[in-house]
Amino acid sequence: MKARWDIFCSVVDNYGDIGVTWRLARQLVAEHDCAVRLWVDDLRAFERMCPQVDVQRAQQWQEGVDVRHWPAQWPVTAAADVVIAAFACQLPPDYMEAMAERERTPLWMNLDYLSAEDWVVGCHGLPSVKFKGVQKYFFFPGFRPGTGGLLREAGLLEQRQAFQQDAVAQRQFLQGLGVFAATGTRLMSLFAYENAGLASWLDVLAADGYATHLLVPEGRILGDVQRWLGVEGLTVGDVHQRGALTVQVLPFVRQEQYDRLLWCCDFNAVRGEDSFVRAQWAGRPLLWHIYRQDEDIHLDKLDAFLELYTEALSPAAKAAVVALWQAWNADGDMAHSWKVLLEHWPQLTAHAEKWCLEQGLQADLATVLVQFYLNWI
Ligand code: TRH
C-alpha cells in the first residue's frame, strides 16, 4: 500500500507557497511512490506556474498529483497517513478531527520557511503542538546538515550541467521565449519585489562597457523598470535598449521553463524562497531580494545566509557580495556595489558552482521528509 500524503497550501501572497508545495507534491509522487493530495485554496496562483490547471474544478490530476481545491466549506474527508501543513497554515478543524479519529494517528508536520539561521538545526524535527493525541512536528528546510534540506529533484544538477554545456539547446530555449541576445552579451534575469535601488543599478548597467541583456518576467518589479525606461504600458514581449543595456519583458512561465531561464543566465536576481533556491541550483552568481517581514527580522535571515554562502570567498569578494545584497535589500547604493562586485566576477562564478555542488551533496527535502516518516512509523 502506498503511503497517503495530504499537503495543505494556503496562498498568502505571491507564488512561493504554491511553488514549494507543487514541487514537493510532484517529487513525492515521481520519486517516492507516494499517493499525494495537494489542497490549494487559490487555484489561480497555481495556474500561473502550471497553466494546464482548471481553476473551476474541485478535483483534478496533474502530473500524478491529486490536486484539490481547498474549499471554504470543508467536505467530509478521511485523513491521510502523513499530513503536511505548509508554512504554518491552519488545517480545517473537521480535518483535524478526522486525523484524531484515525486508528493510527497520522504524522503531522509543519513545513516551515527556509532560513540559514543557526537555531534551525536545533529545532528541525522537534515536536510542536498536540491535537487530541495527534502530535505535530516542526520540519525546517535548510542549508546545513541536520536540517530538512532543500527541494531538489533527482538528477537536477546533471540536467542543469548538460543544458549549460549545450549552446544549441540554450539558444533554442531562449528563442522560444523570443530572446535573441547577441553572443558575448551578459545575460541576466530579474525577479524581484518593488525596489527603489533598481534605477541606480540599471544606470550603471546602461553605462557599462560590456553589453547586458536583462530578462524580466512580468511581476512586481515591472513598475520600477517602466519608470526607469520612461515608458508607459510596459508589457510582455517589449524590448528596450538604453546604452549597453537591453531590457526585455518575459511572460511568467512554467516552473521548468523558469529553471531553464536561470540556467541560461550569467547572473540571476531572485526573491522569496523557491526562486532563491532554484538560482542556487543554477550554479551561477545570484542576488536575493528577501521577502520583507515585520520588525526587519528578514535582515537577520539575510545575514545568516550571507555568512554561510560567503564563507569560502576571499575577504574582498565576500565584502562585495555582502554589500550588494544589503544594498538591494535595504535601499543602499546599487551602482557602487555592482561595480565592485564585477571586479570579483571569475571568483564568484566559480564559487556559485562549488556552492551548488556542495549543497547537492546533502539529502534533498523530499527524501528527508520521507525518511522522517519511515523513522516515525
Ligand atoms: O513569489 P515569491 O515572492 O514567494 C514568496 C516567498 O515564498 C516568501 O518566502 C513567502 O513568505 C511569500 O511568498 C508569501 O517568491 P518565490 O518563493 O521565489 O516563488 C516564486 C515561484 O514562482 C517559484 O516557484 C518560481 C515560480 N516562477 C515560475 O514558475 N515562473 C516564472 O516565470 C517565475 C518568475 C517564477
> pLDDT for 214-240, tens place per residue?
999 999 999 999 999 999 999 999 999
Residue 14, ligand 1, Cβ within 6 A: yes
Give the number of the atom of ligand 1 that is nearest the alpha carbon of residue 11. Answer: 14
Q: How far is the CA of 78 from the centre of ligand 1 (A)?
A: 31
CATH code, 156-360:
3.40.50.2000
Q: How many CB atoms lie within 10 A of CB 145?
A: 10
* Mean pLDDT score across all residues of the chain: 96
Dihedral class, residue 240 (left if φ above 0, else alpha if ψ from -120 to 50, else beta): beta
What is the distance in A from the centroid of ligand 1 to the CA of 13? Answer: 9
Which of these ranges, 53-62, 69-78, 165-174, has the smallest mean pLDDT? 69-78
Distance CA 371, CA 107 (A): 12
109-155: per-residue pLDDT in tens? 999 999 999 999 999 999 999 999 999 999 999 999 999 999 999 99
Q: What SS3 state is found at 180?
A: coil
Q: Which residues contact 84 (CB under 8 A, 6 or more apart)?
A: 5, 6, 7, 8, 21, 24, 109, 110, 111, 139, 369
User: Tens digits of per-residue pLDDT, 83-108?
Assistant: 999 998 999 999 999 999 999 999 99
Query: Cβ distance 187 to 215 under 8 Å?
Result: yes
Nearest CA, atom 28, ligand 1: 255
- Alpha-carbon distance 68 to 8, whole Å? 10
Active site residues: 17, 273
Residues 60, 249: Cα–Cα separation, whole Å: 32
Give the pLDDT band (50/70/90) at residue 54. Answer: very high
Fold of the 4-150+363-376 domain: Rossmann fold (3.40.50)
Distance (Å, whole) CA 44 – CA 21 = 15
pLDDT at 241 over 90: yes
141 lines ligand 1 (CB under 6 A): no
Report the C-alpha gap between 264 and 307 in whole angstroms: 27
Grid coordinates belonging to 92: 480545517
Q: How far apart are CA 215 and CA 228, in angstroms?
A: 15
Ligand 1 close to Cβ of residue 147 (< 6 A) = no
Q: Is 273 in the pocket of ligand 1 (CB under 6 A)?
A: yes
Distance between CA 216 and CA 191 in Å, rounded?
Answer: 6
CATH 3.40.50.2000 residue ranges in the chain?
156-360
Output the pTM of the full model: 0.97
For ligand 1, whether the C-beta of 115 sits within 6 Å is no
CB-based contact 29:21 (threshold 8 Å): no
Q: Give me the pLDDT at residue 4, please.
A: 97
Is residue 144 helix, strand or coil? coil
Q: pLDDT tens digits, residue range 313-336?
A: 999 999 999 999 999 999 889 999
Can you give the pLDDT at residue 1? Answer: 82
- Structural contact between residues 260 and 166, judged by C-beta atoms closer than 8 angstroms: no
- Ligand 1 centre and the CA of 87: distance in Å? 14
State the CB neighbour count (10 A cutoff) for residue 252: 15
